[in-house]
A and B are shown apart, each in its own frame.
Chain A
Amino acid sequence: MKITEALEIFSQTHPGMVRSHNEDSVACEPACGLVVLADGMGGYNAGEVASGIAVSVVVTEVSHRLLNASPVERVYPHPDKTTSHSTKLSKDDSQVAGYNLSPEGERTIASSPLGGGLRRGLKNGEELGVSLLRDNIQKANASIFHAAQSQPQYAGMGTTIVSGLFYDNRVAVGHVGDSRMYRLRGEVLETITRDHSLLQEQIDRGMISVEDARLSKNKNLVTRAVGIDADVEAEIHVYDVLLGDIYLLCSDGLNDMVEDEDIQSTLYALQSNLPLAASQLIQMANDNGGRDNVSVILVKVKGKFAVPRGWPAKLLSWFEK
């Protein structure tokens, strides 16, 4: 299944009930399975500028690399063969690589000039997604940092970012700061990012319990942000994706105002109607006070998307150049 058909994506952003302008930015590129959300900070409109730069750099750079790379998938075995096992989602990438390597009497990878590279690439298929996110978050960081350096009104601006790149029945998740990605699988909602925030560090060190964390006055203090320093280290992980999963990317305007329990019940109850689920989440944040901008991106996995074997191959061709 094509990734555009396999994923249903919906995003919505709202300034909230208190703030006059919206410093969050969201962007989706369904053709690449890419979603990006950023929550900017900085005086005047600098926050919007920072989050805007972050999402546009990541989305344009990643999609440019993926969509404009030379199509080499024709060289490889027909996708149907590679995914004939796909009643189950592939969890083992060496197995996936194995399918590609099986000699079928046609042109196989082994005979292709890129064969060795592809094998390498497939075995570490996720590495390509990871490096794409890492490089481009770094690129966004540089753009924001330079803008902040060169224009006094933007001095000190920065942004959080959370991004998901879906490919090959997986998702690479990259984030910096306290914007989150949640996953609803079955009835269970999990936070799959860990905030880069003072509060999270205090929790990790056992200084404060998760229950007490709600009482803290030190919310919203991030320990990492994009565009503050010359370099940024994005945290990136790769997860297997299952049919029916729902991924929620959100700014802290949602999870500060709405309990995880309510997020869970909303996603679970409204999973068949993503636009309604998104507006319901935003409405709950606003009903509870809406003290911050609130943005959500929902991604529902409706089909398997292991097929695009050309996808890593395209990437590889890019890397080989």
Chain B
Amino acid sequence: MAAKLILSMDGAIIKEYPLNKERMTIGRKAHNDIAIDNLAVSGEHAAIVTILHDSFLEDMDSTNGLEVNGKPTKKHFLQNNDVIEIGKYKLKYINDQVTQTSPADFEKTMVLRAPVKQATPAPTANKPAEMHGFMQTQAGIKPTHEEAVEMTGKFEAHQPTVPAAPAQAAAPAKPAQPAKPAVSASAAAPQAGAPKQVAVVQVLTGPNAGKELELVKNLTTLGKPGMQVAVLTRRPQGFFITHVEGENFPLVNGQALTNQAHQLNEHDVIELAGVKMEFYFKG
């Protein structure tokens, strides 16, 4: 179905115009496809070029110009429900095609940007306590690997191009900071308007112990290229770890991974290239 424009003034609908020509003109003179007989409207005020399902609005050097959704515009790619204002007149652009093909587009963006929900039930209460003990014992043991785990992923939170969940906006404030994750986590939480969970990997052993990495990208690699690398991927159903390269497979809670992706649960401990890391959600 063709897109259309609905002409109205002061809320009263005057006429509907289907955009059934490749080029339609708007102006005061009678030969225009959409003629608006008002002195505020230039003889040839604007034109709309429609190519299949896309329509483009262009100001034809009119005297008084035009606005789209309240903004003065020379040229505009019309989207469903855009309102074009010429003087006191309003033209609302309706593209029914949008509702037919676009939900998927919309859904796509949503899935890509939506904060990941915790995929599994919260861990049992005693698990953090176990973790604590584990970390203490680890502290006494000298790491077998002198080398730091090099993080190949980029951890700075990137600004999403699409308006995103508040969680992402709140996240960038905390880059990987050493030590006191509990403090920073609790400090970060109140800042976020609606607290959302951010997945984090914290290094437990080695020179980088205490460093915290927020998993803000869809894909984050851990490890040392050429030796052992694993990738953490964010999917709609949660976070997964997969072995990428190296003879040894990473361990999750002491169990070696297979070639398959493994879904991470909160407080899982990942061991990779001799370094232990904990995965959890904060906020």
Q: Is the CB of A265 within 8 A of B104?
A: no
Q: How far is the CA of A16 from the CA of B225 in the complex (A)?
A: 32
A116 CB-CB contact with B under 8 Å: no
Q: How far is the CA of A215 from the CA of B225 in the complex (A)?
A: 38
Q: Is the CB of A262 within 8 A of B218?
A: yes
Return chain B residues, CB-CB under 8 Å to A95: none
Name the one of B51, B108, B218, B245 contacting A272, with C-beta atoms under 8 angstroms. B245
User: Given A265-B219, A269-B153, A283-B235, A216 and B54 touching (CB < 8 A)?
Assistant: yes
Return chain A residues, CB-CB under 8 Å to B220: 269
Q: Is the CB of B77 within 8 A of A212?
A: yes
A218 CB-CB contact with B under 8 Å: yes
Q: Is the CB of B242 within 8 A of A276?
A: yes
User: Given A207-B56, A287-B111, A289-B107, A269 and B236 touching (CB < 8 A)?
Assistant: no
Q: Is the CB of B219 within 8 A of A269?
A: yes
Q: Is the CB of A198 within 8 A of B51?
A: yes
User: Per-residue CB proximity of B236-251 to A under 8 Å, as 1/0?
Assistant: 1000001011000000
Return chain A residues, CB-CB under 8 Å to B97: 217
Query: Which residues of chain B from 132 to 190 have a CB within 8 Å of any chain A CB?
Result: 152-154
Q: Is the CB of A257 within 8 A of B218?
A: no
B282 CB-CB contact with A under 8 Å: no
Q: How far is the CA of A262 from the CA of B233 in the complex (A)?
A: 11
User: Given A208-B56, A212-B77, A218 and B51 touching (CB < 8 A)?
Assistant: yes
Taking residues whose C-beta sits less than 8 angstroms from the other chain, chain A's interface range is 20 to 34
User: Given A218-B54, A269-B153, A288 and B245 touching (CB < 8 A)?
Assistant: no
Would you give the shortest CB distance from A135 to chain B, in whole angstroms? Answer: 34
B interface residues, tally (CB under 8 Å): 35
**Closest residue to A18 on the B side, CB-wise?**
B104
Q: Is the CB of B218 within 8 A of A270?
A: no
User: Given A284-B218, A287-B111, A289-B107, A221 and B245 touching (CB < 8 A)?
Assistant: no
Q: How far is the CA of A272 from the CA of B242 in the complex (A)?
A: 13
Return chain A residues, CB-CB under 8 Å to B153: 265, 269
Q: Is the CB of B51 within 8 A of A266?
A: no
Would you give the shortest CB distance from A298 to chain B, in whole angstroms? Answer: 14
Q: How far is the CA of A58 from the CA of B245 in the complex (A)?
A: 34
User: Given A212-B77, A265-B218, A217 and B225 touching (CB < 8 A)?
Assistant: no
Return chain A residues, CB-CB under 8 Å to B111: 287-289
B38 CB-CB contact with A under 8 Å: no
Return chain B residues, CB-CB under 8 Å to A288: 108, 111-112
Name the one of B52, B236, B242 contacting A198, with C-beta atoms under 8 angstroms. B52
Return chain A residues, CB-CB under 8 Å to B112: 259, 288
A70 CB-CB contact with B under 8 Å: no
Return chain B residues, CB-CB under 8 Å to A269: 152-153, 219-221, 231, 244
Q: Is the CB of B242 within 8 A of A215?
A: no
User: Per-residue CB proximity of B43-72 to A under 8 Å, as 1/0?
Assistant: 000000101111010000000000000000
B255 CB-CB contact with A under 8 Å: no
Return chain B residues, CB-CB under 8 Å to A198: 51-52
**Closest residue to A262 on the B side, CB-wise?**
B218
Q: Is the CB of A272 within 8 A of B244?
A: yes
Q: How far is the CA of A288 from the CA of B234 in the complex (A)?
A: 12
Return chain B residues, CB-CB under 8 Å to A68: none
Q: Is the CB of A291 within 8 A of B104?
A: yes
Q: How far is the CA of A266 from the CA of B104 in the complex (A)?
A: 23
Q: How far is the CA of A217 from the CA of B54 in the complex (A)?
A: 6
Q: How far is the CA of A208 from the CA of B107 in the complex (A)?
A: 23
Would you give the shortest CB distance from A210 to chain B, in whole angstroms? Answer: 12
Would you give the shortest CB distance from B167 to chain A, in whole angstroms? Answer: 19
Q: Is the CB of A280 within 8 A of B233?
A: yes
B95 CB-CB contact with A under 8 Å: yes
Q: How far is the CA of A216 from the CA of B97 in the complex (A)?
A: 11
A-B pairs with the 10 shortest C-beta distances? A217-B53, A272-B245, A269-B221, A212-B77, A273-B244, A288-B108, A289-B108, A218-B52, A265-B219, A218-B54
Task: Identify 26 residue pairs between A and B in the complex whose beta-carbon atoms are under 8 Å apart, listed by A's number.
Answer: A207-B56, A208-B77, A209-B77, A215-B79, A216-B53, A217-B52, A217-B54, A217-B97, A221-B52, A257-B108, A259-B112, A265-B219, A266-B219, A269-B219, A269-B244, A270-B219, A270-B231, A272-B244, A273-B244, A276-B231, A280-B231, A280-B233, A287-B111, A287-B235, A287-B236, A291-B104
Contacts A265-B219, A276-B244, A289-B104 aside, 8 further interface pairs with beta carbons under 8 A come to A207-B56, A215-B79, A217-B52, A218-B53, A265-B218, A266-B219, A270-B231, A273-B245
